């Protein structure tokens, strides 16, 4: 009974699932280790979902919107007004709405995968996607800063005004490290780590429930109910974090862009 | 148990911070495609709808304001017309009253004149009738008296001229007598 249900372990010890569980076998393998993985399929699916939904919602262009159009407009306005307009400001925020909008919904859908049964795999629990997203944002805001202020931008971004000259040797390296080195790393790892941790927690809860149910002792079997309660709570928390991280990622992008646009006034 | 974990980690050889380049490529391509669709279709369509809606609302407000202005202008005009009509009515009534009074006065005047005329005519007629009566009386009294006297005297007073003289004298005496009595 035990050996059939849990092939990787005997009934006495509990081996939690590790990070390697996140790397499912490739759907279409090529090369030695890499192939067309579930993540890749999910990324493509997310593009299809987002593009289809918003193109259909926006297509009718009625002045009095229907349900679908209203939902699309509310979602679009959330990013347009709630993030872009509020953070970047009234004059030139429109230029950055497409980027922020795409970022938010791309990350949101790819995160929400983790809360959908059967799919249950947030794309950004693999670090590659998070690196790519953060890199796009990194290049974008530095590009905006240089375009606005020329090469003087690097001085504006690293030398704060109004600081006594004898503190500058300390402040300037800190600014360089925090703005140009730490920023992209935290930006990507924040997203990746929360998704990875959330996925691991859900997996461990699942494995733990399975392990407890398989025990001979009735008490241990009963304890699985507690773990189930905890697992549901963690699942809800994860769902919240999935949405929150998409929002945080987009919000930080808007803040970085705003900082690059108005480097001379910071 | 610890051994199991360690062995799993080393066997899998998966450092979570090392990315899979193919996945990075797919994410990049997917995001680029999404950005393209969003820039090309989604944002312009939503912005167009928003702009049209704002325009429709502003246009509606402008239209409503115009309609209200027109309505108040019409109301003002109607009020003015009403006032004018009232003034006109008052004027006509006053005129009618004045005219009525004038007509009444004219009629009264006319009636008075008529009555005066009738009275005067009556006076003249009475006077002329009296004159006629006096003349005929005089003639008749003369004839009667002559006839009476001739009867009494028994003599035909054929001489008309003489008898007429006698009668005239008699009458004059009579009038004088009357006048004397009256005195």
- pLDDT grade for B7, boundaries at 50, 70 and 90: very low
Is there a contact between B12 and A23 if contact means CB atoms under 8 Å apart? yes
Q: Quote the mean pLDDT of chain B.
A: 84
Is there a contact between A51 and B26 if contact means CB atoms under 8 Å apart? no
| Inter-helix orientation angle A97-112/A38-59, to 10° | 130
Question: How many whole angstroms separate alpha carbon B11 and alpha carbon B14?
Answer: 8
Residue B11 is predicted with a pLDDT of: 42
Q: Which of residues 29-58 of A touch B (CB under 8 A)?
A: 34, 37, 39-40, 43-44, 46-47, 50-51, 54-55, 58
Q: Which of residues 134-163 of A touch B (CB under 8 A)?
A: 136
Residue A207 is predicted with a pLDDT of: 86
Residue B10 pLDDT greater than 60, yes or no: no
- Burial string for A30-46 (b: 16+ CB within 10 Å, else e) reads eeeeeeebbbbbbbbbb
CA angle at A184 for the pair A180 and A189, rounded to the nearest 5°: 145
Q: For residue range B143-165, what is the model confidence (pLDDT) as tens digits?
A: 887 777 777 776 555 667 777 77
Task: Copy the structure tokens of residue B94.
Answer: 């006053």
Residue B136 pLDDT greater than 60, yes or no: yes
Is there a contact between A20 and B12 if contact means CB atoms under 8 Å apart? yes
For every residue of B14-68, DSSP letters joined together read: --TTS--HHHHHHHHHHHHHHHHHIIIIIHHHHHHHHHHHHHHHHHHHHHHHHHH
Is there a contact between B46 and A76 if contact means CB atoms under 8 Å apart? yes
Residue B8 is predicted with a pLDDT of: 42
Q: For residue range B91-122, what is the model confidence (pLDDT) as tens digits?
A: 999 999 999 999 999 999 999 999 999 999 99
Neighbours of A53 (CB within 10 A): 17
- pLDDT grade for B6, boundaries at 50, 70 and 90: very low
Show the low-confidence residues of chain A (pLDDT under 70): 1-12, 19-35, 266
> From the centroid of its chain, how far is CA A222?
36
Q: Is A106 on the interface with B (CB under 8 A)?
A: yes
A94-98, A114-118, B43-47, B167-171: lowest mean pLDDT where? B167-171
Q: For residue range A150-171, what is the model confidence (pLDDT) as tens digits?
A: 888 888 888 888 888 888 899 9
Residue B154 is predicted with a pLDDT of: 60
Is there a contact between B45 and A14 if contact means CB atoms under 8 Å apart? no
Residue A99 is predicted with a pLDDT of: 95
Q: For residue range A99-123, what is the model confidence (pLDDT) as tens digits?
A: 999 999 999 999 999 888 888 888 8
Q: How many CA atoms lie within 13 A of A221 on its CB side?
A: 5
Nearest CA in chain B to A8: B4
Look at the pTM and tell me if it is higher than 0.80: no
Residue B18 is predicted with a pLDDT of: 82
Residue B1 pLDDT greater than 60, yes or no: no
């Amino acid at each position: 009974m035990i050996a059939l249900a849990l092939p990787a372990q005997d009934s006495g010890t509990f081996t939690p699932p590790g990070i390697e569980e996140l790397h499912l076998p490739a759907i279409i393998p090529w090369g030695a280790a890499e192939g067309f993985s579930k993540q890749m399929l999910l990324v493509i699916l997310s593009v299809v979902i987002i593009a289809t939904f918003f193109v259909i919602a926006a297509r009718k262009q009625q002045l009095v919107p229907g349900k679908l159009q209203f939902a699309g407009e509310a979602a679009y306005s959330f990013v347009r007004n709630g993030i872009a307009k509020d953070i970047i400001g009234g004059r030139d925020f429109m230029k950055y709405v497409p980027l922020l909008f795409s970022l938010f919904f791309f990350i949101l859908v790819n995160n929400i995968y983790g809360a959908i049964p059967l799919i249950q795999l947030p794309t950004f629990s693999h670090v590659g996607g998070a690196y790519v997203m953060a890199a796009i944002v990194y290049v974008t805001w530095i590009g905006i800063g240089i375009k606005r202020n020329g090469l003087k931008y690097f001085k504006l971004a690293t030398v704060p005004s109004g600081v006594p000259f004898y503190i500058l040797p300390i402040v300037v390296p800190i600014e360089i490290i925090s703005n140009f080195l730490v920023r992209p790393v935290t930006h990507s790892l924040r997203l990746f780590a929360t998704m990875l941790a959330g996925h691991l927690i859900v997996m461990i809860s699942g494995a733990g429930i399975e392990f407890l149910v398989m025990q001979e002792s009735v008490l241990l079997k009963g304890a699985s109910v507690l773990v189930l309660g905890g697992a549901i709570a963690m699942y809800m928390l994860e769902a919240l974090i999935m949405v929150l991280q998409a929002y945080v990622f987009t919000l930080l992008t808007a803040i970085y862009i705003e900082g690059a646009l108005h480097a001379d006034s910071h | 148990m610890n051994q199991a974990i360690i062995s799993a980690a080393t066997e899998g050889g998966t450092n979570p911070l090392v990315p899979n380049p193919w996945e990075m490529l797919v994410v990049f391509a997917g995001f680029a495609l999404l950005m393209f669709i969003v820039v090309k279709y989604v944002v312009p369509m939503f912005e167009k709808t928003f702009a049209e809606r704002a325009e429709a609302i502003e246009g509606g407000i402008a239209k409503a304001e115009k309609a209200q202005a027109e309505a108040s202008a019409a109301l003002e005009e109607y009020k003015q017309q009403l006032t004018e009509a009232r003034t006109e009515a008052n004027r006509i009534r006053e005129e009618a009253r004045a005219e009525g009074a004038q007509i009444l006065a004219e009629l009264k005047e006319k009636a008075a004149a008529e009555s005066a005329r009738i009275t005067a005519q009556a006076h003249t007629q009475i006077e002329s009738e009296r004159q006629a009566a006096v003349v005929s009386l005089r003639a008749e009294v003369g004839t009667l008296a002559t006839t009476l006297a001739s009867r009494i005297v028994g003599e035909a007073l054929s001489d008309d001229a003489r008898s007429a003289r006698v009668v005239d004298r008699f009458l004059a005496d009579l009038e004088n007598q009357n006048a004397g009595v009256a005195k």
